[in-house]
């Protein structure tokens, strides 16, 4: 089998990107596989191409509705008709109809929460599953413990589905996280395909400020200086909106904001406007970015600090997917570390919250309070409530409540320290005097194999010179438009629908 011919026939590309062929080959040889490929290198191809060769159903577990919808839409644009995104965008009647006709679909996208429903499991078990895909698999470690506990049950779901061939895909995972992913998915024997996290066409720049006002003024300058599309990341929904308004009022055009508190349809509209070029700049929280298929983002700017090095690399990796020179600019003011630390702390319950909630949950039925009352009474965030609820559900039949409370306190302490350590990795990078690219690679246990001429601020790069280079890159593209390849990608499709 010539995989390059298959790639060209189905997708119109003549060569694979780093890591793609290795992951696909491993799967076609029947091996469970964990693939770590940098953001923007086409992880979705790693399950899409095998789907056409295996000619069976592919189940894709995806963490975000926007990511799921975007990937499903991209498949449809490519001519694939048998695609289903089973999520909350569907009405109850549409969901029921889709479940009754699952056998019609080649690609089936689901959230972890949707896959936990007995009715869904029952229908999925009836399928001949060729491939079980965990997209953005780092979320198992990043979100599974504190925010999305259903990620931790995906291993048991695999068993209920008779352990289908599985691929876990991520862009950022240390060796410890990769081990955790395999453990939680019960992938005791799995091939690992690990590509470098280095994105050589992205320059890393950190700028320091004495106060918030000077940092805000600098952001305004950057928004006007940057040529091409850009994403500006914030950690606060309110600040995202306020800064967007400030930039608009001060002459920045084609800019809008995006965050998880907006209506789904509004978020979808903003995302499409950015992808199609109607908007040049997006001010966004971390809710924006996964699955956004826009190759020509020239800059990613962080106004607030991310919560970890993994989050930072994921977010800046959305720049320069077309391979052209791009930049990542982080604006830092002394004290900025307070916000991410507070956000991390809000994911873990305090000892008094654990004691109060667990005690009330153990009361006789007539004295029990509803989840809404408990959350409000103890001022629990969604993450804190999920954290307690998940732990109690997993352990309440194993030990007495008083013992479990003490275990949960210790577990919370361990997870809090884990989050702090991950943030410390980012903060140490922020303060480092060494090459920033080298420091990122060291965090992910890699070595820099080839020096970059345009590397980072520690290596002499500054934004002004770089923006001039970016301007030249936009006006004089290094890679001209390949019309034959683009036409082939649009017209050459697999003619057959799914067959038993």
375 pLDDT exceeds 60?
yes
The whole-model pTM stands at 0.85
Backbone CA torsion sign across 110, 381, 359, 152: positive
**CB distance 14 to 7 below 8 Å:** yes
CA atoms in the 13 A half-sphere facing the CB of 107: 24
Average pLDDT over residues 276-291: 87
Local structure of residue 169 (DSSP, 8 states): E
149 pLDDT exceeds 80?
no
477 pLDDT exceeds 70?
no
Tell me how crowded residue 296 is: count the other CB atoms within 10 A of its CB: 16
291 pLDDT exceeds 70?
no
Average pLDDT over residues 427-451: 93
Q: Are strands 166-170 and 33-36 parallel, antiparallel or unpaired?
A: parallel
Question: Residue 331 pairs with which residues in a beta bridge?
Answer: 207
Q: Which domains does the chain have, with CATH numbers?
A: 3-195 (3.40.50.300), 202-340+462-478 (3.40.50.300), 351-451 (no CATH)
**CB distance 170 to 193 below 8 Å:** no
What average pLDDT does the structure give for the chain? 87
Instruction: Provide the pLDDT confidence category of residue 207 given band limits of 50, 70 and 90.
Output: very high
343: left (phi over 0), alpha (psi -120 to 50) or beta: alpha
55: left (phi over 0), alpha (psi -120 to 50) or beta: left
Average pLDDT over residues 370-382: 86
Q: Write down the pLDDT at residue 471.
A: 61
Average pLDDT over residues 54-64: 90
Average pLDDT over residues 416-428: 94
Average pLDDT over residues 217-234: 95
Q: Write down the pLDDT at residue 131.
A: 97
Summarize pLDDT for 3-48 with one digit per residue, the tens. Answer: 999 999 888 888 998 899 999 999 999 999 999 998 777 888 999 9
Instruction: Provide the pLDDT confidence category of residue 494 given band limits of 50, 70 and 90.
Output: very low
Summarize pLDDT for 62-118 with one digit per residue, the tens. Answer: 877 767 877 888 888 888 889 998 877 788 888 889 899 999 999 999 988 888 888
d(CA 330, CA 136): 24
| Rounded (5°) CA angle 52-57-58 | 80
- Of how many residues is the chain composed? 500
């Amino acid at each position: 089998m010539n995989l390059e011919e298959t790639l060209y026939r189905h997708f119109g590309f003549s060569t694979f990107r780093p890591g793609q062929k290795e992951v696909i080959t491993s799967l076609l040889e029947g091996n469970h596989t964990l693939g770590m490929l940098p953001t923007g290198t086409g992880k979705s191809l790693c399950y899409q191409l095998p789907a056409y060769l295996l000619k069976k159903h592919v189940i894709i577990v995806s963490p975000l509705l926007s990511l799921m919808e975007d990937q499903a839409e991209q498949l449809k644009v490519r001519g694939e008709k048998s695609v289903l995104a089973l999520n909350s965008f569907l009405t109850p009647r549409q969901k029921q109809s889709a479940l009754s006709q699952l056998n019609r679909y080649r690609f089936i996208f689901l959230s972890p929460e949707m896959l936990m429903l007995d009715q869904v499991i029952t229908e999925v078990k009836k399928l001949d599953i060729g491939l079980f895909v965990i997209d953005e698999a780092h979320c198992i470690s990043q979100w599974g413990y504190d925010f999305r506990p259903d990620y931790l049950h995906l291993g048991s779901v695999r068993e209920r589905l008779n352990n289908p061939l599985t691929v876990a895909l991520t862009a950022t995972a240390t060796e410890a996280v990769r081990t955790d992913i395999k453990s939680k998915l019960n992938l005791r024997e799995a091939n690992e395909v690990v590509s470098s996290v280095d994105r050589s066409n992205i320059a890393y720049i950190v700028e320091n400020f004495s106060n918030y006002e000077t940092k805000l003024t600098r952001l305004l300058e950057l928004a006007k200086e940057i040529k091409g599309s850009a994403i500006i990341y914030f950690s606060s929904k309110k600040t995202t909106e306020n800064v967007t308004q400030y930039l608009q009022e001060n002459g920045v055009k084609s800019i809008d904001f995006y965050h998880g508190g907006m209506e789904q349809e509004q978020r979808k509209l903003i995302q499409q406007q950015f992808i199609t070029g109607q908007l040049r700049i997006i001010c966004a929280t971390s809710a924006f970015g996964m699955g956004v298929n826009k190759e020509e983002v020239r800059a990613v700017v962080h106004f607030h600090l991310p919560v970890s090095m993994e989050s930072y690399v994921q977010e800046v990796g959305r720049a320069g997917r077309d391979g052209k020179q791009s930049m990542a600019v982080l604006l830092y003011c002394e004290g900025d570390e307070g916000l991410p630390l507070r956000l991390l702390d809000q994911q873990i319950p305090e000892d008094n919250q654990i004691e109060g909630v667990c005690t009330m949950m153990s009361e006789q039925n007539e004295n029990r309070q509803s989840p809404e009352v408990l959350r409000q009474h103890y001022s629990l965030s969604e993450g804190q409530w999920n954290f307690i609820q998940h732990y109690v559900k997993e352990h309440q039949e194993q030990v007495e409540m008083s013992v479990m409370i003490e275990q949960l306190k210790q577990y919370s302490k361990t997870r809090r320290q884990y989050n702090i350590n991950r943030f410390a990795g980012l903060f140490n990078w922020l303060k480092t005097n060494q090459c920033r690219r080298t420091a990122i690679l060291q965090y992910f246990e890699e070595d820099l194999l080839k020096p970059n001429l345009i590397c980072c601020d520690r290596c002499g790069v500054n934004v002004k010179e770089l923006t001039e280079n970016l301007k030249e890159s936009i006006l004089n593209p290094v890679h001209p438009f390949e019309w034959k390849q683009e036409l082939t990608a649009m017209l050459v499709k697999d003619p057959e629908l799914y067959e038993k």
